[in-house]
Every structure is written in structure tokens, then in C-alpha cells.
Homo-oligomer: A and B are copies of this chain.
């Protein structure tokens, strides 16, 4: 083994997201280390209360209440700012950037208010400021917008960017219950931010939309100049009426740019969206984003918007990008080299045998239209332990023939192919049985 460089990571804030990042790097860190050719050390986490019990394994010696023990430690390469709030977070982020560190953040409000200053500080001191986790955690939207779809100009970006309000609207719609009733539940489940206005009045979605608008159009739009409305006023009557008109109600952020007049608009408001539009199917705590590019056309992405794991996934992808940028390599270069490491990890993987591939199936048989056929078919299936879930019989175009169409309960690929073979051998089955899989 050659000497590997050690990358040291410090966390400002050790709440839900911080602990998620810690946990997943503990669990999957080795795979990342092989890919990147470095050693990753979780060096220190700043907490408010040393005594508090936490759900992750962490040595007491790695906890501190002193933010500067992370921000000013010259050994620490990457600082994850997961504390939230703007004033103190700004101060600490700037200190870290001034020391040339890379800062990874999930703090949308901070970027929204001070993005310019922060990016400038990062550039000036040779560090960097990464923020994939700030918008729609489980959807790598920053990377998609900035890298994957770099060839495009975006005339329209719209989406559901706040999971909590989407959860409330989805339940109001499904259960016909009032906003107040569902809100009470959502609070009890811990889905609503301490500052409820962020979720309920659209501020959280607005912060995220401002970041997307900046990425797409290079302009910081002040939240004051956004058409901003939340979901408090929506009644079950609205939801019902919208449905009668063929719509669902979703809290949408809509960013439009007209490239002819060069006008841009950004609105965040509850919006009626046609049932035929896939966005109307983005329910519960999920986020959805549609990007309309002049080259790629529409790209539509759905994923978990928030929560410990989805946000941690985004933070870790930024940490990986941070490490790559510290190594001075381009992403693909590393990836090519990493493939060897990757394959090492995949050692011992084998292809599943047909008997190990579980599924349920659809079968269409052309059979003689005479008594006893159904029982013969059922017997063949029973012999292979294939149990029939539902069946339809249809008249066939040919006289004296019928279609027997059925679905099975869960079985496996071997049992079903044996069944098909046996069915084909029956005199009453007139042609090769036609098999389809059922996705579950």
C-alpha cells in the first residue's frame, strides 16, 4: 500500500443531518476511500450540548462545543456547515473559507442571502463552497443543472421544492381533512420546521428557487421580489373543486425566462396542475423538478427532498467532489482509475440463477374452448407451486378457441419457465404461452 493522503472532515452542527453524514461515512466510507485513493477521517463535530445522547457511534474526544476547533484547525480540509441559521453560520463559513478550506453546506437561507459574498471568499482564498444539499437532497439537481445539462439554456424550471407542504397537501387531498388537522399531525411527526413559516408560507421553497434561478440565469433574485404565497389558505373545498376541473393543487416554484425579451420571473405559490402532468403525481414528502432546456428538452427529476439520509447523500457527494478538487484531479480521471477499486469491491458478486429471481407473472394462453381446460391449466400451475392471482377469459377470433389470461402470485423464473413449458405440451393449449413479468 502506498502512502495515502488523509482528508480531514469537521462538522459544524451535529443534529439530524450531521449525524446522518457521520453514520453513512462510517458505514460506506471504505468504498469511497478506495474510489478516491485517500483516507477519510471524521475529525471533529461541534455540538451545542456535550452530554446529549446521540444515535451514532462517536468518540467523546471528537465532540466539542467550540466552533473554532473546526474552523481554525489547520489540519481540517473540509468543513460541513450543518448548523443552520444565517448570522453565526455566515461568520464561521467566512472564517473557514478565509483559511482556504472547502465548505460544504445544506444552508439554503445562507446561500440565498449571502451567496455572492461566500463564493467570492471561496475564490479569493483558493477554497470552495459546495451546496448540493441545499436543494432537494435526494435529487442531485445542482450537478444536473450545472454539469449534466451544461449545454442548455432554461426557459422554464418548475417544481415542488418543499416536502412538508407537499405532505400536507397530499394528505388533505387523500383524506379530505382540513389544513389545520393535517398540520397538527405533521407537527407531531416532526415534519414541520421550528420556524413554521419556512414550510407553510413558502419561504423554504423560495430560498431553493432563488438558488436554482441563480444557477440557471446567473442572477440573485431577492426573496422580496418573488411572488410568494404559502399553503395556509387552501381548503378542502379548493382541493375538491380543483379535482372537478381536472387538477391537483401543489406548491410550485416556477422560474421562467423569456430569451427574446430577456425577462425573468420567479413565483412560489400553490398552483393547480393538470392530473396528466407527472408533477401532479409527486406526492408525500417527495420533491420534483422539471427543467426545460433548449437542447435536451424536458428533464424531470423526483426524489426525497429532505430528511437525514437524503440530505446526507447530497452532503457526501459534495465531500467527494471536495476531495477530488483537493487532489487537483478532474472527476472523470478519478473515476476511470476508480473503476479498478470499484470492481474490487464488487468481488464475489455472482449472477442470480433463475430459481433465485423472484417475481410474479402474466400469462396469456390460446386454448381450446371446451370444458376441463381450466382445470388442466390449474393443475400444471399447482404442480410447479405457481399460484394464480387473477384470471380473465376472452373469446378468440378463431372459432372454438379462447384466450385464458392470468396473473400469478410471487414465484420465480425457473418455476414459471417450467410452467410455460408444461402448459405448451397440453393438447388443449393451441400455441406457445405468452409470458410477461409484473413489476413489484
Contact = CB atoms under 8 A, between A and B. Distances in A.
A438 interface: yes
Interface string A219-251: 101000101000001110110011011010100
Contacts of A309: 295-297
A232 to B, nearest CB: 11
A56 to B, nearest CB: 14
A167 interface: no
Contacts of A302: 278, 298-301
Contacts of A238: 362, 364, 405, 434, 436
Interface string A175-187: 0000000000000
Given A349-B262, A352-B263, A439-B272, A143 B151 contact: no
Interface in A130-156: 130, 132, 137-140, 143-144, 146-153
A338 to B, nearest CB: 9
A186 to B, nearest CB: 19
A123 interface: yes
Contact of A439 (B158, B234, B258): B158
A423 to B, nearest CB: 16
A265 interface: yes
Interface in A99-141: 119, 122-123, 128-130, 132, 137-140
A6 interface: no
Contact of A303 (B137, B298, B335): B298
A277 interface: yes
10 contacts: A28-B151, A28-B295, A123-B337, A151-B317, A237-B394, A244-B392, A254-B437, A257-B349, A273-B439, A330-B330
A264 interface: yes
Contact of A147 (B271, B321, B343): B321
B296 A310 contact: yes
A325 interface: yes
A317 B148 contact: yes
B304 A296 contact: yes
Contacts of A140: 143-144, 147-149, 299
A329 B330 contact: yes
A189 interface: no
A227 B351 CA distance: 11
A371 interface: no
Contacts of A244: 392
Interface string A323-360: 01101111111011101001111101111100011000
Interface in A266-323: 266-267, 269-274, 277-279, 281-282, 293, 295-304, 309-310, 312-314, 316-317, 320-322
Given A119-B339, A139-B299, A264 B349 contact: yes
A392 B241 contact: yes
A218 interface: yes
B312 A151 contact: yes
Given A221-B351, A303-B298, A309-B297, A439 B333 contact: no
A359 B343 CA distance: 52
A75 B279 CA distance: 47
Interface in A183-230: 217-219, 221, 225, 227
